[in-house]
C-alpha cells in the first residue's frame, strides 16, 4: 500500500488528537502539537516503511513534540516504582459497573503521568505491547507489568472517586 499524507490524516488524526487531548488536557495546545506532528510526518513520510506501524510512528513524533514543549518541566512521565509497588494487580476479567464508567476520565486524570500514558497507549490507541515497548524504550515484560500496575492504580483512583471495582463477574 502506498501511504500518502492524506491517508495518514484520514486514518490516524482522530486517534492521535485524542491522545494529545488526553495527555495535555488543553485543547489549543493539543491542536498545535498535533498539527506540528502531522506536518513533520508529511516531511518524513518516506522514512515510514511499514504502514501498519504508522500509528506508533505518529505517536512517537507527537511524544517528542510534547517532550520538547515540556522540556523545562520535571513532571513529564517519570515512573515511580515505589508508588506502584504496593498496589495489588487487578484480577483477570474483573469489571466495573458500566453505569459508573462515566467517572473513568476523572479517575484517569488522578493517575501519575506515566501510568496515564501507558494506559492510553494500550487502551485508547490499542497498540500492541511490542510497539508500546519501542515507543517507551522498555522491554516487553516491563510494559506488561507496568500496564498491570497502572490498571491497579486506576482501580485505586476509581475507588477514591467512589467507584468500586468488583472481582470476577459483577
Partner 1 sequence: MTRNTAPTPGFDQQLRDALRPGAAPDDLRRSLLRAAGKRRSRWTWPALGIAALLMVLLGGGTWGWMVHGRGQEGPRLGRAAIQMFREAPRMAFTAEASGPDSGEQGRRWSAQAAGFSAALPKCLAGQAMKGGCVCDMEACRAVCYYLQDGRAIYVFDRTLRGLPFDSDQPRRIAAEGHRAQAWNENGRAYVLVEPPGWGGQG
Q: Where does this chain bind partner 1 (CB under 8 A)?
A: 2-6, 8-10, 13-19, 22, 28, 31-32, 34-36, 38-40, 42-43, 45-46, 90, 92-96, 98, 101, 104-105, 108, 119-120, 123-124, 126, 151, 165-170
Residue where the block lists cell 459483577: 170
Q: What's the grid cell of residue 151? A: 490498571
**C-beta of 88 vs 137, nearer to partner 1:** 88
Given a contact cutoff of 8 angstroms between Cβ atoms, the answer to whether 12 and 54 are in contact is yes
Given a contact cutoff of 8 angstroms between Cβ atoms, the answer to whether 22 and 111 are in contact is no
**C-beta of 78 vs 106, nearer to partner 1:** 106
Q: CA torsion angle for 64, 68, 69, 72 (degrees, to 10)? A: 140
CB of 41 to partner 1, least distance (A): 10
**C-beta of 82 vs 156, nearer to partner 1:** 156
CB of 112 to partner 1, least distance (A): 17
CB of 76 to partner 1, least distance (A): 19
Burial 46-61 (b: 16+ CB within 10 A, else e): eeeeeeeebbbbbbbb
Amino acid at each position: 500500500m502506498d501511504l500518502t499524507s492524506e491517508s495518514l490524516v484520514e486514518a490516524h488524526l482522530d486517534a492521535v488528537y485524542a491522545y494529545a487531548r488526553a495527555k495535555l488536557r488543553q485543547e489549543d495546545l493539543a491542536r498545535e502539537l498535533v498539527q506540528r506532528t502531522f506536518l513533520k510526518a508529511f516531511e518524513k513520510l518516506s522514512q515510514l516503511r511499514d504502514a501498519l506501524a504508522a500509528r506508533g510512528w505518529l505517536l512517537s513524533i507527537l511524544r517528542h513534540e510534547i517532550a520538547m514543549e515540556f522540556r523545562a518541566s520535571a513532571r513529564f512521565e517519570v515512573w515511580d516504582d515505589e508508588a506502584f509497588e504496593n498496589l495489588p494487580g487487578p484480577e483477570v476479567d474483573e469489571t466495573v459497573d458500566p453505569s459508573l464508567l462515566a467517572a473513568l476520565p476523572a479517575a484517569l486524570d488522578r493517575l501519575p503521568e506515566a501510568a496515564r500514558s501507558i494506559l492510553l497507549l494500550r487502551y485508547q490507541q490499542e497498540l500492541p505491547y511490542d510497539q508500546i515497548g519501542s515507543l517507551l524504550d522498555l522491554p516487553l515484560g516491563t510494559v506488561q507489568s507496568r500496564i498491570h500496575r497502572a490498571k491497579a492504580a486506576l482501580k485505586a483512583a476509581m475507588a477514591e472517586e467512589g467507584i468500586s471495582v468488583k472481582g470476577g463477574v459483577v
